[in-house]
Amino acid sequence: MDSTRESALLRASEILLRSWRSFDNSRHGQPVASTSTEELTRQSLPARPEPIDVVLASAEEILDESLAQARPRFFAFVGSSGLEAGVLGDMLAAAHDINLATTAQAADLIEEQTVRWVGELVGYPSAGGFFTSGGMISNLTALAAARERALPGAREHGIERGGGAIYASADAHASIRRAGEVLGLGSQRIRAVPIDHQRRMDAVALEGMLEADRASGVTPIAIVATAGTTLAGAVDPINDLADVAERHGVWLHVDGAYGLPAAASPLVGELFAGLDRADSVSVDAHKWLFVPKACGCLMVRDPRSLGAAFAHDSGYMLHDQDRARHPVDSTLEYSRPFRALKLWMALRTYGADAFRLALTRNLQQARLLAELVRQEESLELLLDPALSIVLYRHVAATGDLDDHNRRLVKALQEDGRVWVSDASLDGTTCLRPCIVNYRTSDDDIRELVRVTVEVGARLTREGD
Ligand SMILES: Cc1ncc(COP(=O)(O)O)c(C=O)c1O
């Protein structure tokens, strides 16, 4: 670098501080990519060095022109919010660039401790687990272990005739289907179990499907309970599903990628009863535990099940005498950064009570939003929120309401005061704000409703 480390670090920390200050409050509008950014992206591979100050300034501009989920009125998707102690943890972890594929000494101990802490926070007596790149990989990892338990030798011989099936609610995340595809079951063997009026998996229907499969020679591999569906935040009845799993000797996985942190809040904790009976549980700290991506956490009741699915010997990675296994013998990923550090630092810096409080506040804000929507004549609430996702639409229009709401979301994004995404609930197009940011205030929620009504009315005036 052309500068001293001290000066580069000072510049970087000034940029960080400006970002954090700008995230404290919402901003009016979202800048699009500037002409200077566009020019920059046309440049070819730089052969010669540039001053680090210039490169940092470019990075600051690019970040500012990109959509940051950290902003308090970014309501689209179940994302993370760049919790500050977590950001510092990521910075430090990147500097040391530890690889948790092989034994990494103190970092291994911290990863183990943080998995335990996550279990304690959500109420799962985890016997082991790992940090992953997120819900997709956590789900795939757990289901690979379940496949090996249900069909021993499948990792070696593949899936023989008859095959296996995985049961998840019709609203389960697409990562479950993808896991089934990757594991060689085929997406048709990911049974979509019907849901009730609260969009929770129907345990009776599940048992019927499972028995029908068994009768026709298909081996049930796993039941996946979703603890907070991505579309509507529904929490499947884990206890009832655990009963079915126990009766049939089937692996129970809980996909809590988005919603499971809410188990730590006294407001809705009872929704997650039965969690302790699961064989595996996934939760993404990079969603509703606020730390930066990526920070998925997979917990299991029997860590040997992961070894059975993944352990291997390679000439380039011999096992030492003291520790029979490397972490990579239990994980799907090979190179794994020290993802636990940012969560470990955040849990220590703020304390678990602050997390419980922030989660409870987000849950209350979802109820506030639902109430405000109910009070607005021009809006319609489509479902009472179980957690922190609120589905509603603007109905004061004369034309096709689905088309109107699609245009409304686009107009809101162009307006930029609030950022929401659209969704389809059984074919009805709606807005789907997800409240998962500790920076979001009650005023931000009121502004979301005010801006929706204002922009919705303008569209109606202009077009309908
Ligand atoms: C319930 C659920 N499972 C899995 C995932 C996938 O998580 P990731 O994007 O971290 O892989 C998501 C993402 O939103 C989710 O909501």
pLDDT in tens, 74-102: 999 999 999 999 999 999 999 999 999 99
* Band of pLDDT at residue 314, cut at 50, 70 and 90: confident
CA distance 260 to 357: 15
φ/ψ (deg, to 5) at 199: 65, 30
At residue 158, the pLDDT reads 92
pLDDT on residue 317: 76
pLDDT of 340 reads: 98
Mean pLDDT of 173-190: 97
* Residue closest to 436 by CA, chosen among 278, 286, 244: 286
Residue reference for tokens 């922030």: 358
Give the model's pLDDT for residue 391.
98
* pLDDT over threshold 80, residue 324: no
Across 101-121, average pLDDT: 96
Q: Which residues contact 421 (CB under 8 A, 6 or more apart)?
A: 75, 76, 77, 409, 431, 432
Distance, CA of 128 to chain centre? 20
Residue 432 C-alpha to ligand 1 middle, in angstroms?
16
Q: Which three-class secondary structure state does DSSP give residue 164?
A: strand
Residue type at 167 in one-letter notation:
Y
Give CA–CA dist 441/110, Å, rounded.
Answer: 33
Is the pLDDT higher at 161 or at 155?
A: 155
Confidence of residue 306 (pLDDT cuts 50, 70, 90): very high
236 confidence band (pLDDT: 50, 70, 90): very high
- For the chain, the C-alpha Rg in angstroms (whole number) is 24
230 lines ligand 1 (CB under 6 A): yes
Residue 258 CA to residue 296 CA, distance in Å, equals 10
**Cα 99 from Cα 366, distance rounded (Å):** 39
Q: Give the separation between CA 221 and CA 143, rounded to whole angstroms.
A: 8
| 78 Cα–ligand 1 center, Å | 8
173 touches ligand 1 (CB under 6 Å) = yes
Cα pseudo-dihedral 153, 158, 160, 163, rounded to 10: 90
Read off the DSSP letter of residue 105.
T
**Three-state DSSP state, 163:** coil
Token pair in block for residue 84:
């500050």
Q: Which atom of ligand 1 is nearest to the CA of 137?
A: 11
Residue with tokens 């929706």: 452
Would you say 86 and 292 are in contact if contact means Cβ atoms under 8 Å apart? yes
- CA distance from start to end of the chain: 58
407 phi and psi angles, rounded to 5 deg? -70, -35
Distance CA 63, CA 398 (A): 40
Q: Which residue among 175, 283, 287 is best mutated to probe the pocket of ligand 1, counting the most ligand atoms within 8 A of its Cβ?
A: 175
Res. 325 pLDDT band, cuts 50 70 90 = confident
Give percent of the chain above pLDDT 90.
Answer: 93
Please state the separation of Cα 50 from the chain's center in Å. 37
Helix 401-415 / helix 442-463 crossing angle, nearest 10 deg: 120
Burial of residue 52 (CB within 10 Å: 0-12, 13-18, 19+) is: middle
In angstroms, how far is CA 337 from the centroid of its own chain?
18
Q: Is 171 in the pocket of ligand 1 (CB under 6 A)?
A: no
How much is the pLDDT for 312? 87
By alpha-carbon position, which residue is closest to atom 5 of ligand 1? 135
**Region of residue 416 (phi > 0: left; psi between -120 and 50: alpha; otherwise: beta):** left
C-alpha to C-alpha distance for 45 and 294, rounded to whole angstroms? 28
The vertex-372 CA angle with 366 and 377, nearest 5°, equals 140
Q: What is the pLDDT of residue 322?
A: 54
181 pLDDT band, cuts 50/70/90, is very high
Which atom of ligand 1 is nearest to 229's Cα? Answer: 1
**Amino acid identity, position 231:** L
Residue 272 · residue 327 · CB < 8 Å:
no
Instruction: Report pLDDT for 185.
Output: 95
Token code pair at residue 359: 């989660």
Show the tokens assigned to 246: 């126990």
Residue 165 and residue 150 in contact, taking contact as beta carbons nearer than 8 Å: no
Atom of ligand 1 at shortest range from CA of 226: 1
| Alpha-carbon gap, residue 69 to 81, rounded angstroms | 6
Which mutation among 171, 200, 230, 286 tests ligand 1's pocket best, with the greatest number of atoms within 8 A of CB? 230
SS3 300: strand
Residue 295 CA to ligand 1 center (angstroms) comes to 11
Tell me, what DSSP letter sits at residue 73? Answer: T
Listed residue (247, 250, 225) closest to 238, CA to CA: 225
- Strands, DSSP E only, in 262-303? 280-284, 296-300
Report the chain's mean pLDDT, rounded to a whole number: 96
What would the two tokens of residue 104 be?
């990494």
Given this model, what pLDDT does residue 177 score? 98
In this prediction, residue 463 has a pLDDT band, given cuts at 50, 70 and 90, of confident
Strands 128-132 and 296-300: antiparallel
329 lines ligand 1 (CB under 6 A): no
Identify the weakest region by mean pLDDT among 30-34, 52-56, 57-61, 133-137.
30-34
Distance 179 CA to ligand 1 centre (A): 12
**How do residues 353-398 score in pLDDT, each as one tens digit?**
999 999 999 999 999 999 999 999 999 999 999 999 999 999 999 8
**Beta bridge mates, 408:** none
136 in contact with ligand 1, CB cutoff 6 A: yes
Q: pLDDT over 70 for what percent of the chain? A: 98
The DSSP annotation for 408-429 comes to HHHHHHHH-SSB--EEEETTEE
Q: What average pLDDT score do residues 229-255 get?
A: 98
- Both tokens of 375, joined, read 């009070």
